[in-house]
Amino acid sequence: MSRPETGGRRKPAKIADVARIAEVSVATVSRTLANPEVVAEETRKRVLAAVTATGYTPNLAGRALRARRSMLALVVVPDLANPFFPEVLRGVDETLSAAGYGIIIANLDNSAEKESRYVDLACAGQVDGVLLLCGHVIRGRVRDLRASGLPIVAACERIDGEDIPQVEVDNEDAAARAVAHLIDLGHRRIGYIAGPERNVLDRDRRKGFGRALRAARLDPRKAPAFAGDFTFRAGERAARDWLAMPDATRPSAIFAANDEMAIGFVKTARAAGARVPDDVSIVGFDGIEFADYCEPTLTTIYQPRRDIGATAAALLIAAMTSPKPPSPRFERIATRLMLRDSTAAAPKR
């Protein structure tokens, strides 16, 4: 026996169907759904019964067209494959969908072509707001996102020189804490594995690195720096460079600008016979899941990615809901230094 109430229906019910069954006008149906308190108790009951009976769900296109808002937000990610973002997106998703917003994910994937298409989409009024996790205001070939007047919020990577609400962790301070931890352990020669040049995260973390060194009366300019780009491979290269250094100058500790490079470093150094943390201590940044799975487990700065996403989403909702342009306020999210097995006291010389 099949269930007749759910089976086989073809076309979705529309508001007129509900109105007919409830014996009211379409206006009343609309009101019942949007402002239940303004319709009479009795009427409301009939309408809601009809909604259930027909399985009515408002057509978003019709609503968007008329109400001039799509209840959709565009979330721009530089690269979905980066293990940092999924968890941020979860926070974003939870918060936005709880407020009734849908999400369109724009995965830039290093394509200017795609980027431009998303700008077009946004400027054409297809979304109610834009959340930038990509470190820059996306640029179109012809249209300009800022000129559209659309609410914009940035997170993860700070965008300098834009007066929009932003959410970020204090990268400089967190880096300084990580390096101070190494100094506390007795390390005096500490190396830095860098992120991409001119990247704002690299700049802030490098600053924190220098600050912690200076606080211990060490000279940042003498600290060995290894070029990098946030990839595992860059960590491997840094390790090879490190291995080639003479004992006298080789750092006993490394601060990597992110976890993937730290893990690449550890793997290559160990493969060449170096012991971690006995011969070299290392601390990463981000707190990706794998930092707790690798061997040895990685001391790192944990970023509460879900919180970052949720906070940014909340700011965006505020901007989309409020009639006037939001004050460009900054939200700072706290990080945690996770002490694990990749750091230990400096070897005695």
Partner DNA sequence: ATGAAAGCGCTAACAT
Partner DNA sequence: ATGTTAGCGCTTTCAT
Contact range with DNA by CB under 7 A, out of 28-36, 183-191, 298-306, 315-323: 28-36
Which of 9, 34, 49, 325 is close enough to bind DNA by CB under 7 A? 34
Token couple for 334:
């706290």
Token couple for 224:
């060995």
SS3 of 182-240: HHHCCCCCEEEECCCCCCHHHHHHHHHHHHHHHHCCCCHHHCCEECCCCCHHHHHHHHH
Interaction between residue 42 and DNA (CB under 7 A):
yes
Interaction between residue 1 and a second copy (CB under 8 A):
no
Question: In the complex, what is the shortest distance from the CB of residue 265 to a second copy, in angstroms, rounded to a whole number?
Answer: 11
Question: In the complex, what is the shortest distance from the CB of residue 122 to DNA, in angstroms, rounded to a whole number?
Answer: 15
Q: Which amino acid is at 138?
A: I
Interaction between residue 323 and a second copy (CB under 8 A):
no
Give the helix/strand (H/E) hosting 281.
strand 281-286
Percent composition of the chain: helix, strand, coil (DSSP 3-state, to 5): 45, 15, 40
Question: In the complex, what is the shortest distance from the CB of residue 20 to a second copy, in angstroms, rounded to a whole number?
Answer: 18
CA dihedral sign of residues 313, 318, 320, 325: negative
Nearer to DNA, 46 or 305 (CB): 46
Q: Could you give the string, one character per residue 47-76, with x where binding to DNA holds by CB under 7 A and - elsewhere?
A: ---------x-xx-xxx-xxxx--------
Residue 142 contact among DNA, a second copy, none, beta carbon within 5 to 8 Å by kind: a second copy
Interatomic CA distance for residues 185 and 182, integer angstroms = 5
Interaction between residue 31 and DNA (CB under 7 A):
yes
Contact range with DNA by CB under 7 A, out of 25-33, 154-162, 236-244, 286-294: 25-33
> CB count, 10 Å around CB of 339?
12
Interaction between residue 7 and a second copy (CB under 8 A):
yes
Interatomic CA distance for residues 315 and 99, integer angstroms = 12
Residue 249 contact among a second copy, DNA, none, beta carbon within 5 to 8 Å by kind: none
> CB count, 10 Å around CB of 35?
9
Residue 152 contact among DNA, a second copy, none, beta carbon within 5 to 8 Å by kind: none
Nearer to DNA, 125 or 325 (CB): 125
> CB count, 10 Å around CB of 231?
16
CA angle 254, 256, 258 (to 5 degrees): 160
Interaction between residue 144 and a second copy (CB under 8 A):
yes
Give the helix/strand (H/E) hosting 269.
helix 259-271
Interaction between residue 16 and DNA (CB under 7 A):
yes
Interaction between residue 15 and DNA (CB under 7 A):
yes
Interatomic CA distance for residues 257 and 286, integer angstroms = 9
Give the helix/strand (H/E) hosting 179.
helix 171-184
Which of 41, 42, 147, 248 is close enough to bind a second copy by CB under 8 A? 147
Interaction between residue 16 and a second copy (CB under 8 A):
no
Interaction between residue 330 and a second copy (CB under 8 A):
no
Interatomic CA distance for residues 15 and 146, integer angstroms = 37
Helices and strands per DSSP (H, E), number in the chain: 11, 12
Interaction between residue 52 and a second copy (CB under 8 A):
yes
Token couple for 216:
């211990």
Interaction between residue 290 and a second copy (CB under 8 A):
yes
Binding region for a second copy (CB under 8 A): 6-10, 12, 52, 55, 57-62, 64-65, 70, 80-81, 83, 86-87, 89-90, 93, 97, 102-105, 107, 109, 114, 117, 120-121, 123-126, 142-144, 147-149, 232, 263-264, 267, 270-271, 289-290, 293-295
Binding region for DNA (CB under 7 A): 14-16, 23-31, 33-34, 38-40, 42-44, 56, 58-59, 61-63, 65-68
